[in-house]
Structure 1
Amino acid sequence: MQRTEFSQTLQSNMALPANETSMAERSQWVLNAPAPPSTWHNLMASVRNTISSYQKMCSYIRGQPGPKVVLSFLRSIFPILHWGRNYSPTKFRNDLLAGLTIASLCIPQSIGYATLAKLDPEYGLYTSVVPPLIYALMGTSREIAIGPVAVVSLLLSSMIQKLIDPAIDPNGYRKLVFTTTFFAGIFQAAFGLFRLGFLVDFLSHAAIVGFMGGAAIIIGLQQLKGLFGINHFTNKTDIISVMKSVWESVDHPWNPRNFVLGCSFFIFILFTRFLGKRNKKLFWLPAISPLVSVMLSTLIVFLTRADKSGVNIVRHIKGGLNPSSINQIDLNSPHIGALAKIGLVVAAVALTESVAVGRSFASMKGYHLDGNKEMVSLGFMNIIGCFTSCYVATGSFSRTVVNFTAGCETLASNIVMAIVVLISLQCLTKLLYFTPTAILASIILSALPGLIDINEAYKIWKVDKLDFLACVGAFFGVLFASVELGLLVAVGISFTKIIWISIGAGTETLGRLPGTDVFCDAQQYPMAVKIPGVAIIRVKSSLLCFSNANSVRERILKWISREEAKGNIEDNTGSIIQLVILDTSNLVSIDTSGIASLEELHKSLVSSGKHLAIANPRWQVIYKLKATNFVTRIGGRVFLTIGEAIDCKLDF
């Protein structure tokens, strides 16, 4: 009965013309709104939303036969069971070509990135076998190529070597790397399972651009050791320490054959990349050029025995299947707290890079990439990987571009790549004995230009100077301090930006656009007409709180004083401004400091013969204003629109 009466009343009110609904009645719509959801209610709603998908799955399972339930459950965990049903020979041909192409790029890059992570070369190859296979089963992106990447490799080496020096205790260092990979996988999976992916967003786009650029330069400087054949080199990653180490090496004997060999093939790789960009049909040329460089340089060193003349070579690379590393996960390490922190940082960076790359190509192909599923798949991929001698793997931008250009159809290209790398581990590692380290350095150097995006940095500068400050802070933090400090600076500047915007919440004066009932910023629209005797002011911030409340109040009072002094229009009856309308349509919430500042504003206006009115308050705002009796103190002048607030001036 109550619902029927309410519906009839609602229909009758909707049937009334607008002019038959009194202004007082519309004001009551604002004042008599039900209480908004409490903080506890919002928290519980968030929890319910987090587990709603699992509840729906459980309810679906209860109504289905056993085999169908198992199949549906497996498909939700392993998307390959879904897209694999429509797999065709044509798709396999495209995936085979793409997989062979990225494998030719992956093998030399993986060896180089392993040395960047201060690990033996075979661990880069191990990381290109198991993680891609796991991701192919659980991932949702069709184009991402999984494996070790330069930035994550640098992060691991720069942070973990502060705990254990890999040159002194390589076994202990390797244990810490695997333990960190375990923590990184745990964090990544947790982000996805509990829908906490928003935490990764604290690394803003501008911060990532600056961080990647700084990391690319640091990685490039680190490769000077291999390119020049320097035996004694610093373990620090800041530019000052690296350049000092290079300068000091001038006094020590070094062999120019390393430099000549490395630069020659570096130029060759860049030339093939230039040809690939000029002719799209030659996309395979820059993809296979690193592998060709390794093969040719290895053959040259073997035939000339240049290793006896001072050319540094890789020497032994352990082959075979990925060995188990479960017993190397050291959860009782005295560094366990530091490893967990490193794992969190590495997990965030790896997720940011992989999800950003995956979403970019998903939008190009016109399908949706589930961010939470991506995080879960990357997490389990790294958890399983750390048990099989792999360090942190993620989506590689350079290899994903090659995979996409080669025409991949599904994640089967990752499976092909992993199989090729596995065959290489079984059969070809002995052939890589004479591979010069200068070639690995040149391969890493050739991949770095893609990490430095000057055009994007310039665009950030043009759009938002504070964002550019975060970009520059991350760049110089990585360059002159350390990788982790660069990230910390970027996040700190981003938080400072948020606080600055909150504290510096400005106000804007509104006027009516001619011929309309629309009120807009008078500075943005100079044609807007100001209402005589009325000051209409809007708060720009979405929150009026302790950080900006006094500033907003002072801005309003100073503006009123300035406007009155400007025209010098006062008579015996008082100021020409009789009514100050505060448009709160932007305010989402207000705290006690904000309410206190409004009360002080009201007292200041009353003392000078003015009145205060509130227009269009949001749900949380009007609820708190009523709870503190502020509405009563201003005489109930709360209105649905600015126009109705202006009409109330006639009552003064």
Structure 2
Amino acid sequence: METTGDYGQCPRRVPVPPSKPFLKSLQTSLKETFFPDDPFRQFKNQPTSRKFLLGFQYFVPILEWAPRYTFDFFKADLIAGITIASLAVPQGISYASLASIPPIIGLYSSFVPPLIYAMLGSSKDLAVGTIAVASLLVSSMLGKEVSPTENPKQYVQLVFTATFFAGVFQAALGILRLGFIVDFLSHATIVGFMGGAATIVCLQQLKGMLGLVHFTHKTDLVSVMRSVFGQIHQWRWESAVLGCCFLFFLLLTRYFSKRKPAFFWINAIAPLISVILGSLLVYLTHAEKHGVQVIGHLKKGLNPPSLSELAFGSPHLMAATKTGIVIGVIGLAEGIAVGRTFAMFKNYHIDGNKEMIAFGMMNIAGSCASCFLNAGPFSRTAVNFNAGSKSAVSNIVMATAVMFTLLFLTPLFRYTPLVVLSSIITTAMLGLLDYEAALHLWKIDKFDFFICWGAYLGVVLGSVETGLVIAITVSLLRILLFVARPKTIVLGNLPNSGIFRSMDQYPIANNVPGILILQIDAPVYFANASYLRERISRLIYEEEDRLKSAGETSLHCVILDLSAVASIDTSGISMLEEVKKNVDRRDLKLALANPQSEVIKKLDKSKLIDKIGQEWIYLTVGEAVAACNFMLHTCKSNPVAVDYNALDNNV
């Protein structure tokens, strides 16, 4: 297909790439979908023994970096591990109570999973632990099926089962390279969802702050408020005063650490200090006899096996499976986002699929060792990062500290007041209310802001699951809207140049007399083919009407800039055929500019090139404009036989 190319020399062509066999094309598409990072490149040109070692290191990353580990790294990881252990112990107990399971399970969950992640994870900074949102989801979703107070054993079994299915789901996503599914949770979705969940979690802590015994398992705002104010006569002022004091202390240390980043460790150890002070206060004053609820006895010893506790034969198996998938997605979204954030600070890359496998395996192992869901909480990871961690060994140090606590220190938590745990949870949740991010969304993209607000209201007014469904649904609808209604832009010529740009963006751009230039700004598929056909027809009609009203040169050529059309299907080809028929009926000419590889191949196979005319397909919009003017005004009778020197002068 000849174009006006390097005028005065040989004409340029828009080549039709050679067709690939279907299986080869399918293989290429699947590779780009599931292996965009080309994880197998390191195996090329390697002997078999080396490939085996590299494969083992790929799935067990600790084997890759452990030989390079130094004593200086260990000193840094030791400090970081002890620091996050001081946060892990009170958080583990607190989030266990949030999930309505025995507090000791929170400690169990900070022992086994971090050891698994240290071997399989690819992040140097991620600190593994339980997360508040997943704990709330466990309580709200499984609490509907089995009461944690009336049938605690069966409830705990369902929690372990949900954790198992969460791990299986996460590992399967990583093994099958389906990590892109998590990308459907946009930043706006996560901000709104986390903010709504944090609001509900904070409100539910009024149970502990006010010393209430009975409380709703529902998570919507109305139910929580009804439960709080419906029991005014049972409020305990002792718990309220104690809770407010510790909440003020925790917020004060957090504020100080933010103002003085070098003293981050003050905020990190504040929860543990609160637990110690609260326990001493209750022990010395016997406050447990005056309405202040305490944790009670915690048995010593390491995690008991729980494989036999997995409720595969339970009538509530479907609920456990559903809960596992939901909390698995939440755990992946938060963990991978946090890991990538801190990896960016240190300029290294983490493999999302490896992280999914690591998360999945640690939760599968955890479900068999009396643990519930673990992920990568932001608060704990931030402490780990600020403490100067160098590798995942900090997780091993943390797990070792928790092991020591389980073996020797659990009796010391007997007098820990529940109101202190409520204060710790409330303080952590306030950090998830990212109003600055919401305001930023409002400034940048109003649609994203409404997605964020919809997710927030869905969680607060409905339930955590409702908010998640609303957020994902709205995000998917936005994607479908962009696909189904792509932009079709009218281009104009920038003065004294051969550059053509959007006339909306560049008011100084001028219309080319008698020529309408349209840029299709997306791939053309069945979902948008009809819309594009109607849109192009309407723009042609509007341009003809404008020219007629202004008394300018009538329209004689339509140029479609296909540079942004990366692919096209048969519906798109049919759309171009109809556009061709439409311009023919109007006695106009249709030209195409810069069709991409896949597009030109399908145009060739469908014989649409012959209908449009090979001489009407060009490399650039400028060449198409020059050719339209020259061919229609000078060589209308024979548009192929062009004097390129004359055309060059015309340009």
Matches of 1:55 and 1:363, distance apart in 2 = 23
2:97 maps to what in 1?
Answer: 115
2:215 counterpart of 1:233: yes
SS of the residue aligned with 1:158?
helix
Q: Would the alpha carbon gap of residues 48 and 624 (structure 1) be closer, same or farther in structure 2, given more than 3 Å must change?
A: closer
SS of the residue aligned with 2:230?
helix
1:594 maps to what in 2?
Answer: 572
1:193 to 168, 175, 182: 175
Aligned residue pairs total 625
2:286 counterpart of 1:298: no
Matches of 1:299 and 1:242, distance apart in 2 = 31
Matches of 1:454 and 1:390, distance apart in 2 = 33
Query: Contact 1:211/1:487 (CA < 8 Å) preserved in 2?
Result: yes
2:641 maps to what in 1?
Answer: none
2:203 maps to what in 1?
Answer: 221
Letter in 2 for 1:424: T
2:620 maps to what in 1?
Answer: 641
Aligned residue runs from structure 1 range 350-369, under 5 A: 350-369=331-350
Matches of 1:231 and 1:465, distance apart in 2 = 43
Matches of 1:374 and 1:489, distance apart in 2 = 27
Aligned residue runs from structure 1 range 459-498, under 5 A: 459-498=440-479
2:591 counterpart of 1:613: yes
1:62 maps to what in 2?
Answer: 48
Matches of 1:272 and 1:20, distance apart in 2 = 76
1:266 maps to what in 2?
Answer: 247
Matches of 1:70 and 1:487, distance apart in 2 = 42
1:98 to 68, 80, 84: 80
Matches of 2:21 and 2:536, distance apart in 1 = 31
Letter in 2 for 1:239: L
2:533 maps to what in 1?
Answer: 553
SS of the residue aligned with 2:177?
coil
2:360 counterpart of 1:382: no
2:431 maps to what in 1?
Answer: 450
SS of the residue aligned with 2:350?
coil
Query: Contact 1:570/1:576 (CA < 8 Å) preserved in 2?
Result: no
CA deviation digits over 1:338-375, x for unaligned, max 9?
Answer: 43332222111111111111111111112111222111
Letter in 2 for 1:584: L
2:154 maps to what in 1?
Answer: 172
What is the TM-score with the length of structure 2 in the denominator? 0.91
Aligned residue runs from structure 1 range 478-557, under 5 A: 478-540=459-521, 542-557=522-537
Letter in 2 for 1:619: S
2:631 maps to what in 1?
Answer: 651
Q: Would the alpha carbon gap of residues 53 and 278 (structure 1) be closer, same or farther in structure 2, given more than 3 Å must change?
A: closer
2:266 counterpart of 1:285: yes
Query: Contact 1:36/1:623 (CA < 8 Å) preserved in 2?
Result: no
Matches of 2:25 and 2:160, distance apart in 1 = 39
Query: Contact 1:97/1:406 (CA < 8 Å) preserved in 2?
Result: yes
1:7 maps to what in 2?
Answer: none
Letter in 1 for 2:48: R
Query: Contact 1:569/1:576 (CA < 8 Å) preserved in 2?
Result: no
Matches of 1:377 and 1:556, distance apart in 2 = 50
CA deviation digits over 1:24-60, x for unaligned, max 9?
Answer: x52xx34x4323664x544323556768746965974
Q: Would the alpha carbon gap of residues 54 and 602 (structure 1) be closer, same or farther in structure 2, given more than 3 Å must change?
A: closer
Tell me the CA shift for residue 96 of structure 1. 1.8
Tell me the CA shift for residue 191 of structure 1. 1.8
Q: Would the alpha carbon gap of residues 42 and 208 (structure 1) be closer, same or farther in structure 2, given more than 3 Å must change?
A: farther
Tell me the CA shift for residue 304 of structure 1. 1.1
Letter in 2 for 1:275: F
Query: Contact 2:484/2:527 (CA < 8 Å) preserved in 1?
Result: yes
Matches of 1:256 and 1:431, distance apart in 2 = 25
Matches of 2:591 and 2:72, distance apart in 1 = 70
Query: Contact 1:457/1:468 (CA < 8 Å) preserved in 2?
Result: yes
2:562 maps to what in 1?
Answer: 584
Matches of 1:589 and 1:334, distance apart in 2 = 48
Query: Contact 2:557/2:628 (CA < 8 Å) preserved in 1?
Result: no
Structure 1 stretch displaced more, 104-113 or 372-381: 372-381
What is the TM-score with the length of structure 1 in the denominator? 0.91
Query: Contact 1:184/1:382 (CA < 8 Å) preserved in 2?
Result: yes
Q: Would the alpha carbon gap of residues 57 and 591 (structure 1) be closer, same or farther in structure 2, given more than 3 Å must change?
A: closer
SS of the residue aligned with 1:330?
coil
Matches of 1:505 and 1:470, distance apart in 2 = 20
Matches of 2:424 and 2:506, distance apart in 1 = 56
Aligned residue runs from structure 1 range 299-378, under 5 A: 299-378=280-359
Query: Contact 1:469/1:493 (CA < 8 Å) preserved in 2?
Result: no
SS of the residue aligned with 1:587?
coil
Unaligned runs of 5+ in 1: 1-12
Tell me the CA shift for residue 558 of structure 1. 2.6
Matches of 1:553 and 1:70, distance apart in 2 = 55
SS of the residue aligned with 1:565?
helix
Tell me the CA shift for residue 575 of structure 1. 6.8
Alpha carbon RMSD of aligned pairs, Å? 2.4
1:143 maps to what in 2?
Answer: 125
Query: Contact 2:216/2:227 (CA < 8 Å) preserved in 1?
Result: yes
Structure 1 stretch displaced more, 113-122 or 467-476: 467-476
